[in-house]
Chains A and B, each alone.
Chain A
Amino acid sequence: MSRQSMRANDPKKVSGELFTLTYGSLVAQLLKDYENVDDVNRQLERMGYNIGMRLIEDFLARANPGRCYDLRDTADKIQQAFKLYLGVSPSIGSWSPGGDEFSVVMETNPMAEFVELPEHCLGLRYSNILSGVIRGACEMVQLEVMAWFIADQLKGDNMTEIRVKFVKRLEDAIPAGED
């Protein structure tokens, strides 16, 4: 018990283990429901995208991050959001020469605690929900990006690395039928 009482009783936080195991259960369910891992990867990305679209609002309200003037600003905000929502501090690096692509590198991946990939699931991008979250959140602030995993500790890499690439700035479009 003593160990648990050390946890600050913050009503805005939940147990990391509950989060990890819940996510794991979802991934297991998807693997059961879909025929192949590519579909699971896609579904996880889509769920992340939905989450990102809603998460950005919370982020803007809570962190009051201000406007981003370039992609480096954006990268900083993404780093900040990882800290705020997942309690980890990834590092940002490996900028492309053109400055339109960077990596988010995590030493520990909170999604993947307790996880071991079985042989037949090596094509699974277990934490793919995160790339969806990044894409969805950026899209809501008029930034089209691509995000994908290039390294994963679950597959024997030293760290977990998400690559983010700027695609284009989205213009405000007037919804059809409203001029």
Chain B
Amino acid sequence: MSSNKQRPSILDKSLSRGKSEVSMTAYALLFSEMVQYSHNRVQSVSDLHNKLSELGERVGVRMVELLFVRERNYKRETKLLNVLLFVKGTLWKSLFNKEADKLDRATDDERTFYLIEKEALVNRFISVPRDKSSINCAAFMAGVIQAVLNCTGFPAKVTALWHKGTTFMIKFDDAVLIRDKQLEGR
């Protein structure tokens, strides 16, 4: 393969319309290889989570760009609640063809939200070893969410927990809450 051919620029191609589909089996096996690869390169469960989260972040960054151009007509979100609904609705629908099951706010901490997905797609074919029951491969999806929130200007830390299926705990930076209060009523 020679390298002096004219390579196509990605900007010359028309944007994907998001209708293509692949089989669930193909995705499950790919994801499984990814988890095994990551698992071989880490020492602890939390390192594995970080590694999977990093893989998810690259997906999240690209989804933001894609969705705001294609689905939102370049209009960004400025309110905290709206960006969460964007994650629960638009993002989830494009990735998983359904809305996330539930969005909750922590009662004791206004910075914390919970996004609940009973049966996370990436966990469907994974059986967690008994001695490492805290492993949750949805850390990958936590990475996706985290990148989406960071890219839209709502920096947060997102972790995946085993609770009511999978719960994504979203903890926003203080600055996000302060700004959101200032915007209130506008």
Contacts and interface: CB of A to CB of B under 8 A. Distances in A.
Interface string B14-54: 00111111111111011101101100010000000000001
Nearest to B10: A116
A22 B141 CA distance: 11
A1 interface: yes
Nearest to A62: B25
Interface string A3-28: 11011011111111111011111101
Interface in B71-96: 71, 90, 93-96
A13 B24 contact: yes
A28 B54 CA distance: 11
B18 A14 contact: no
Given A50-B33, A155-B7, A14 B22 contact: yes
B23 A51 contact: no
Interface string A138-172: 00000000000111111111000000000000000
A22 B34 contact: yes
Nearest to A55: B29
Contacts of A43: 37
B33 A84 contact: no
A21 B59 contact: yes
A47 B31 CA distance: 11
Nearest to B15: A114
Contact of B21 (A10, A24, A29, A151): A10
A114 to B, nearest CB: 7
A122 interface: yes
A36 B56 CA distance: 23
Contact of A156 (B6, B30, B37): B6
Given A155-B5, A156-B6, A17 B30 contact: no
Nearest to A25: B58
B16 A114 contact: yes
Interface of B: 1, 3, 5-10, 16-27, 29-31, 33-34, 36-37, 41, 54-56, 58-59, 62-63, 66, 71, 90, 93-97, 121
Interface of A: 1, 3-4, 6-7, 9-19, 21-26, 28-29, 33, 43, 47, 50-51, 54-55, 58, 84-87, 110, 113-117, 122, 129, 149-157
9 contacts: A3-B19, A15-B20, A15-B94, A19-B22, A22-B34, A50-B36, A51-B30, A122-B3, A152-B1
